[in-house]
Amino acid sequence: MDDQTLRELKDTARRIRILTIDQIGYLGVGHIGGALSIIEVLTILYYRHMHIDPKNPGMKDRDQLVLSKGHAGPALYSVLAHRGYFPEEWLHTLNIGGTRLPSHADMVRTPGIDMTAGSLGQGLSTAVGKALGHRVDGINSKVFVIIGDGESNEGQVWEAAMSASHFKLNNIIAFTDYNKMQIDGYTQDIMDLDDLNAKWVGFGWNVLRVDGHSFPALDRAITKAKRETCRPSMIIMDTIKGKGAFFAEGKLSNHNMPFDYDTAKEAIARLEREAEREKAAAEKTPGGEK
Amino acid sequence: MSNIQDMRATYNDTLIELAAADERIVVLEADLMKASGTVPFRDKYPDRSFDMGVAEANMAGVAAGLSSVGKIPFAASFTPFASRKTYDQFFISANYARLNVKLVGTDPGVTAAFNGGTHMSFEDGGLMRNIPKLTVFEPCDNISLAALIRKSAAHEGCTYMRLHRKGGQIIHEKNTEFELGKGIVLKDGSDITLIAIGFVMVPEALKAAEELEKEGISAAVIDMHTVKPVDRELIVKYARKTGAFVTCENHQVVNFLGSAVAEVLAEEYPALLGRIGIQDEFGQVGTLEFLKKDYGLTAEDIAAEAREVLKKKK
């Protein structure tokens, strides 16, 4: 990944993060933690890896995303608005009665959402269905899925995992948002996932492990997963819940957190100052993260 | 009767015919492909048949995913597993997402026979009736089965069908026009109306009507194959005409046919009603004949209930 691309992705991700904090802060409460931990993966998918057309959200051979952890909807709404699926003004309608942007991802209401989700554990099964359907139709596109680590407590995830490898669905590329927290506490204390890599390997998947906030690492893993010929791929992302919002980052209370709009504005101002600092540093010393 | 094919064979044959004309038709099973009778479909369309193993929740989700990319999936398992084990997946991934999944529960109610209480579902229809917008139906013979599968495939939206598997029977005239949500009058009558559903109960209702005729009681018989949406117009018509009803179902009397009819009568045209069906009981093992007697599902039980209802009429 060249420096220019990396800088652009970082800038885009920062903008998405700002839109997400603003969106939830404007309402005053929401799933900020698990939204902010997947900003990088959403950014790299929608701005670099997915074959999509915001003008034609129903395009038959598009790549699709199943946001199985549907409560992170606001992060995806920020991406879709920024990518041009609908106006950014919609973001201030989150969860207001009659809105097209409900808390959990909803394919009926929101342009660009490929699957309804929110009852945890269900997304990977639907991705298996999409991938099988594409195979029947000879459509050579990818189905991306984002699963939560807490969500991985659900038995259905593992039924779906077994079926994806049984049907050799190399057109599925899944991610686990491994931020190590769930609603009641640390995943290790509530329901320990133990060796998550070994679990997915045991289910017959191609497993990759990355820093979920590093674009070069995500890029290498996705590129590798796209080349896989006979297995579905699981990219386990080590992430930080609430990443990038000073009031939420790494806090156990950030799952569905109230915060006022002034706090959101302060967090956004800090991100904007960070952007300025990075810009100044980049002008001084070309190069950086590879 | 012996030369009539199994209901499951009609299920399979109809799906093969539909699949030939419509490439969107696909079939899912959960390790009960032989039981559901869709092995010939698999042999004919191996790429469009998916055995998901013993994982019904995943099957329902996969069916939803297939529907989301334009397929029309028919997914089957025994009634308790097709309903109780898939409820949230079918509810959210398929129905709430406004997709197009055709779920099929086989061996409804007492027809689970020797599989007993774990496999004997008297509540699946009620669970399904609670899902908004869902169409819920139970064909009583091979003719209505073939016709209603076609209607289900053509219907835009999810459906749930209770499918009798083993054995077949012909009750309807060959050229009958079927429509989801429209009951069919099998026999007219003026004293009481027997509203029945399904392979086991429609013939029992017809037999009961014959018994009653001998006593000078004129009983109408309706095959109410669709419980949701139920045919309100037809119920009201017969409320005006007979003022008395017995509903007959191989299901709990709560939240399936008996409830649907009671609701329409209470709201539209109050009339006397008796309900034949399972009275708040679990399933158990036994032959079909034993179970029908034990739960009070026979023609004699229906006729006796009709007499009781008519006593109140006087």
Tell me what ipTM this predicted complex has: 0.96
Q: Which CATH class is domain B7-163?
A: alpha beta
Smallest Cα–Cα separation from B62: which of A59, A169, A52?
A: A169
Residue A290: band (very low, low, confident or very high) from pLDDT cuts 50, 70, 90: very low
Mean pLDDT confidence for B39-47: 98
Residues of B in contact with A135 (CB under 8 A): 47
Q: Which CATH class is domain A3-284?
A: alpha beta
- Indicate which of A110, A125, A142, A156 best probes the interface with B, i.e. most B CBs within 10 Å of its own CB: A125
Contacts of B298 (CB under 8 A, 6+ apart): B204, B292
State the fold for domain B184-308.
Rossmann fold (3.40.50)
Residue-wise pLDDT for B70-124, tens only, equals: 999 999 999 999 999 999 999 999 999 999 999 999 999 999 999 999 999 999 9
Residue A288: band (very low, low, confident or very high) from pLDDT cuts 50, 70, 90: low
Contact between A133 and B98 using a beta-carbon 8 Å cutoff = no
Q: What pLDDT does residue B3 have? A: 83
Instruction: Find the closest chain A residue to B59 by CA distance.
Output: A125
Exposure letters B195-216 (e unless 16+ CB within 10 A, then b): bbbbbbbbbbbbbbbebbeeee
Q: What is the distance between the alpha carbons of residues B141 and B114, in angstroms, rounded to a whole number?
A: 22
Tell me the residue type at B221.
V
Instruction: Find the closest chain B residue to A135 by CA distance.
Output: B47
Bridge-based pairing of strands B102-106 and B72-78 is: parallel
CB atoms within 10 A of CB B5: 13
Residue B182: band (very low, low, confident or very high) from pLDDT cuts 50, 70, 90: very high
Q: Which of residues 60-89 of B touch A (CB under 8 A)?
A: 60-71, 73, 88-89
Alpha-carbon gap: B120 to the closest alpha carbon of chain A (Å)? 24
Contacts of B309 (CB under 8 A, 6+ apart): B192, B244, B245, B246, B272, B273, B274
Q: Where are the domains of chain B?
A: 7-163, 184-308
Tell me if B49 sits within 8 A of B27, measured CB to CB: yes
Q: Is the pLDDT reported for residue B48 higher than 50?
A: yes
Residue-wise pLDDT for B213-222, tens only, equals: 999 999 999 9
Q: What is the distance between the alpha carbons of residues A250 and A32, in angstroms, rounded to a whole number?
A: 11
Q: What pLDDT does residue B313 have? A: 84
Q: What pLDDT does residue A55 have? A: 97
Q: Which of residues 23-62 of A touch B (CB under 8 A)?
A: 60
Contact between A163 and B58 using a beta-carbon 8 Å cutoff = yes
Tell me the residue type at B107.
D
Tell me if B41 sits within 8 A of B19, measured CB to CB: yes
Q: What is the distance between the alpha carbons of residues B14 and B16, in angstroms, rounded to a whole number?
A: 5
Q: Is the pLDDT reported for residue A279 higher than 80?
A: yes
Q: In what order do the strands lie in the sheet with B244-252?
A: B184-187, B219-223, B192-196, B244-252, B272-278
Smallest Cα–Cα separation from A269: which of A247, A289, A241?
A: A247
- Indicate which of B27, B31, B62 best probes the interface with A, i.e. most A CBs within 10 Å of its own CB: B62
* pTM metric for this prediction: 0.97
Q: What pLDDT does residue A118 have? A: 96
Closest to A163 (Cβ–Cβ): which among B52, B64, B68?
A: B52
Residues of A in contact with B92 (CB under 8 A): 116-119, 122
Q: What pLDDT does residue A287 have? A: 56
Residue-wise pLDDT for A218-237, tens only, equals: 999 999 999 999 999 999 99
Return mean pLDDT, chain A.
96
Size of interface A-B (CB pairs under 8 A): 103
Smallest Cα–Cα separation from A27: which of A261, A270, A283?
A: A261
Q: Is the pLDDT reported for residue B292 higher than 60?
A: yes
Helix axes A261-284, A3-27, angle to 10 degrees: 170
